[in-house]
Structure 1
Amino acid sequence: MKKIFFVLSLLFLCLTLLASCSTKQAEEKAKVTLYYASLGNDKIIGEEREINLKKGESLPKKALEELIKGPSKPELRNNIPAETKILDLDIKDKIATVNFSKEFSQFPGIMAESFAIISVVNTLTEFPEIEKVHILVDGKELLAPSGMPYGLLKRYDLASINNSIIMNKTTITLYFSDDGANYLVPEYREVVKDKPLEQIIVEELIKGPQQPGHYKTIPPETKLLSIKVENGTAVVNFSKELKTKHWGGSTGEAFTIFSIVNSLTELPEIKKVEFLIEGKKEETLAGHMIFSEPFTRNENMIKK
């Protein structure tokens, strides 16, 4: 009986080892290069990654799946919306036609869209069997901001693109509270001009300061709904959180208002700032200042 048990145990062990070997043989490791934007959206960088490829899997499709997952390096960012799915990838005559789910086209801005497309095209054209990429969304051609289809896309020259991005950068001045809430202090930030500068300024203010000793002036839950400049006046439309999440106090109210006004009036074309909340004028922001009239720059609040 012991002998039979020993033989059965040995047989079971052999079968387990064979199954393990079979699984290992069914998978192989492959290196791919995935392309992402830098954290500051100022260049496109390749990230080499080792992936496990199962028998019968398409390496280009697997690389694209890895691309959507995002970078492993903290200094890189993924501009492809995280919910994006690959509905199909067909490669024929050195053209890769990739059909993404509708989420792929939900970009926050033109720069994000451009970087996402470059990431896809350059990742796929790493493979010798692919020379051009055709991007579809839910079976329809992806349209450029001009309204025209992107069509067949060749590999992008990253050296040229990265250089042009550098040339498209500028420095903006943002005003935040000092550590004693006595003055507004300037913070200089380099940004890529992928949107109107007035929009970038307000969005960066909402993100908050980067320098130690500087403090936020806008509730972080606040969203910028719209901004337009007409006849020297910037009309800024915020979500309700600017008011409902505000910490209150006359000083806090003044710092919120004039951090925005003074930052925007750094642009020569803006002389006044008018505020809206959810598209409507409010009599006051926190109960201490008239909020329904346009504001001009307040130099007295800036630390000299």
Structure 2
Amino acid sequence: MTNKPEGMRMKRLFILILTLLTALMMASCKKAEEPAEPEADTDSGYRRTTLYYATEDGFIVPVMKSIPWEEGIGRAALSYLVSGIDNDKSAAMMGLKTVIPEGTECTLRIGEGGSARVDLSGIGRQTKEQEQAIVVAIVNTLTEFPSINNVSITIDGKEKKTLFNGTDISKPMESFALNIEDGEVPVSGEAHAFTLYFPNSAASLNIPVTRYTDTAPSFSGAVQEEIAGPKDEGLINCFPAGTELISAYIKDGIACVDLTKDFEKVADTEGMLDAARDCLYLCANQFDQVYGVDITVEGKEYSMHTSAVSVPVYVNEWR
């Protein structure tokens, strides 16, 4: 039989162990609730980061760039968007332009719930188009980070309803649809958004375009819109005139697209088959995770079969 002092010691020991276990469980839960760390290549000290730039034609495009890992990686990402000798030269080699004016200082704070606040100091007066590019590039670059859900923008430490030329910054903003055709979002409840991809005029970049149609979003519908081609003359249609869609579906991670015989004329232009394949792959990934593209012509394997060819991991990659 245990005596009373020994029983008290056992009781205190049990309470101590229980307290430690509870603390460990709470720490584990807290860790699980913390935002996921950004994608990083810890071996090289670089992080693969999607940055948003402007093209000479005024499109906003995402580009994956490996940037040195550092504390405050979000602010570091924004620094690449600020105009300056090195940034401008580097962007120009890709056919891109930085969007934040030279001399602008960007301060970033991330609060609870994934709400980020960016203060732009010394930004100066810009055109309406430049303002819109700045806002979209900042918001979309930051919301690529898993710990950021929305972004507020202040100017010189003060909250503003609009920028100088009327661009709305009155409330927190989530990721924007890119390069909306016809320049505005339809108010009709029947309109559905497709993200389409077309090469730029130099065929060096994939340009995401948002198109609103009355068709409910589907991979087949997106391919139909791809074949119809871009409305902007500065973009390329990868599908030869006369090409029609027979079927399009995703099965076992492969985007399967069957086209009419006119598609075979794609071989007449060097690189166009690869461009068509990449655009189909990028389109398919908005509906399901896809690992390859299989193009057939009237049910028969196309002579330049594409399912075994590597497909792009990112819309655009820094070169």
* TM-score, L = length of structure 1: 0.39
Instruction: Indicate the structure with greater strand content.
Output: 1
When Rg is computed on C-alpha atoms for both structures, the one with the higher figure is 1
* TM-score, L = length of structure 2: 0.37
